[in-house]
Amino acid sequence: MQNVRLVSLLLVVTLLLAACGAPAAQPTAAPAAGALSGQIAIGAVWSLTGAAAIYGPSQKQAAEMAVEEINKTGYLGQATIKLITEDDRSTKEGAIAAFEKLINQDKVVAIFGPTLSNSAKAADPMAQEKKVVVLATSNTAAGIVEIGDFVFRDSLPEASVIPNTIKATKAKLGYKKVAILYGDDDAFTKSGYDAFKAALDAEGVEILATETFKKGDTDFSAQLTKIKGLNPEAIVVSALAEEAAGIMSQGRQLGIPDSVRFIGGNGFNSPKLAQLAGKAAEGAISGAAWFINSTAPGNQDFVKAYNAKYGANPDQFAAQAYAAVYIMASAIKHAGKADGQAIRDALAQTKDMDTVLGKFSFDANRDPQHTPVVQMVKDGQFALFE
C-alpha cells in the first residue's frame, strides 16, 4: 500500500513538473500539446469557382490531406483540426463573405487563404481587426503582410522571386529588349509588373512597349500585334493562368516565333497553363516557390501521397497549402492553446522548420524565407530552367 502511494505521489509530481515546464518558444523544440483538446476550427478560403479556379482546388485538396494526416497521427495531442472550407468565387466580395462567416459564425482562430492577393486585400483587414490569424498560401503581391501583425504568408512574394527570374533568364538567353503585357486591374498582376519593371531596369534591359489588359479579356491581338511589330527578344507577361494561356496561344498564332520566350510570375505556376495553351506554352518560363522533384524532407512522400489520394501530381499551390497547414499546426502546438494571439506569437517564431517548401522561416515582417526556383514548360510539364 505504502509503495503504491509513493508511486502515485511520484507520478503526480512528475506530471506537475511536466505541466510547468518552460513554454517551448521555438518550433524546432519538441513541444507538449497536452493542454490542447477538442476540435480547433480553422477556415480555408480558396477560389473554387471563377477566374482563379485553376488554383483553388489543388489548394483545397492539399490542405485537407495535411489536416487528415495531422489528426490521424495525434500531432496535436487530444486536439484535432476542423477545417472549414469556403469558396471565394475568385472575387473580393466572395472573400469578404467567407471571412465574415468563418470569423463571426464558425469562430475560427485562423484562416488559410484567400487564393488571390486581390481578395486578400479586401478580406484580411477583417481578420486583423478581430485578431484572427491569416496564413496566406498563394498571395504574392506587395502590401499583404503590411495589412497587420496577424497576417502571414508562406508564398514567396513576386518582389523576391522575380529579380532572380530576370537575372537567370537574361544570363542564359541574353535578351536586351523585351515587351511587357500585364493586367492592370488586379493586385497580383500589377505587383508582378512593378517587380518585373524594377528587375529589368536593374539588369539594363530595354522595355520596348508596355501593354495592358483587363480581367476576363479574351482577345489580346491588338496588344500582341503591336508587340510583334517591335521585335522583342522576349515577352514578359504578368497574368493569371487563363489570360496567360490566351496570350501565348494568340501570340504564336500571330506569328511571334518560338524563340521569343514568354516569361512570367506566379500566375504561370499551374499545370493548367500548359493544358490550356498546349504547344503555345512550350518554353514558357516562370519564377516559382517549389519544384516537384525537390528533395526537401518529406516532399517526395507528399507528392506520392497526394498522387495516391487524388490521382494527379500536386502543383506549387498544393505544396504551399500543405506546408501552411503544418506550419500552423506547429504554431498551435507551441501556443498550447487555441487562441488567436497565442497562435500569432508562436507562428512569428517559426524558424528553420522542415517543410515541403524546404527549410522555412518567417522574417520579421511575417513574409516567408526560402529559396525560389526558375522553371519552364517542357513537353507539357514543368522542368527546371537551367
Binding ligand 1QQ by CB under 6 A: which of 108, 122, 141, 256? 141
- The Cα–Cα gap between 217 and 239 comes to 11
Residue 186 DSSP SS3: coil
The answer to whether 140 contacts ligand 1QQ (rule: CB under 6 A) is yes
Q: How far is the CB of 45 from ligand 1QQ (least distance, A)?
A: 12
266 binds ligand 1QQ (CB under 6 A): yes
The answer to the question of residue 286 lying near ligand 1QQ (CB under 6 A) is: no
Place of cell 489588359: 213
Of the residues 116, 156, 248, 346, which one makes contact with ligand 1QQ according to CB under 6 A: 116
**Min separation Cβ 31 and ligand 1QQ, Å:** 32
- The correct pick among 183, 251, 264, 267 for binding ligand 1QQ (CB under 6 A) is 267
Buried b (16+ CB within 10 A) or exposed e, 66-78: bbbbbbeeebbee
- The phi-psi region of residue 215 (left if phi > 0; otherwise alpha if psi is between -120 and 50; otherwise beta) is beta
Q: How far is the CB of 50 from ligand 1QQ (least distance, A)?
A: 12
Nearer to ligand 1QQ, 103 or 116 (CB): 116
Distance CA 187, CA 147 (A): 14
Using CB under 6 A as the binding rule, the residues of this chain from 299 to 358 that contact ligand 1QQ are none
| Interatomic CA distance for residues 146 and 121, integer angstroms | 10
Q: Does 161 bind ligand 1QQ (CB under 6 A)?
A: no
Chain positions 164 to 183 lying near ligand 1QQ, rule: CB under 6 A, are none
Residue 160 sits in the site that holds ligand 1QQ (CB under 6 A): no
Regarding 196 and contact with ligand 1QQ (CB under 6 A), the answer is no
Binding status of residue 193 toward ligand 1QQ by CB under 6 A: no
Q: Name the DSSP class of 380.
A: T
- Please state, in angstroms and rounded to a whole number, the distance separating the CA atoms of residues 181 and 220: 9
Identify the CA nearest to 291 among candidates 129, 100, 156, 198.
156
**Closer by beta carbon to ligand 1QQ, 85 or else 140:** 140
Q: Does 52 bind ligand 1QQ (CB under 6 A)?
A: yes
Determine the size of the site formed for ligand 1QQ (CB under 6 A).
13
Is 118 or 169 the residue whose CB approaches ligand 1QQ more closely?
Answer: 118
For 107-171, where are the E strands, in sequence order? 110-112, 133-136, 151-153
Candidates 117, 137, 299, 330; binder of ligand 1QQ (CB under 6 A) is: 117
- The residue range among 69-77, 114-122, 126-134, 344-352 that interacts with ligand 1QQ, by the rule CB under 6 A, is 114-122
In whole angstroms, the minimum distance from the beta carbon of 144 to ligand 1QQ comes to: 8
Residue 134 is a binding residue for ligand 1QQ (CB under 6 A):
no
Q: Which three cell numbers stand for residue 368?
A: 516567408
3-state helix, strand, coil in the chain (%, to 5): 45, 20, 35
Cβ neighbours for 232, distance < 8 A, ≥ 6 positions apart:
175, 177, 178, 179, 208, 209, 260
CB-CB contact of 132 with 148 (8 Å): no
**Positions that interact with ligand 1QQ (CB under 6 A):** 52, 55, 115-117, 138-141, 188, 240, 266-267
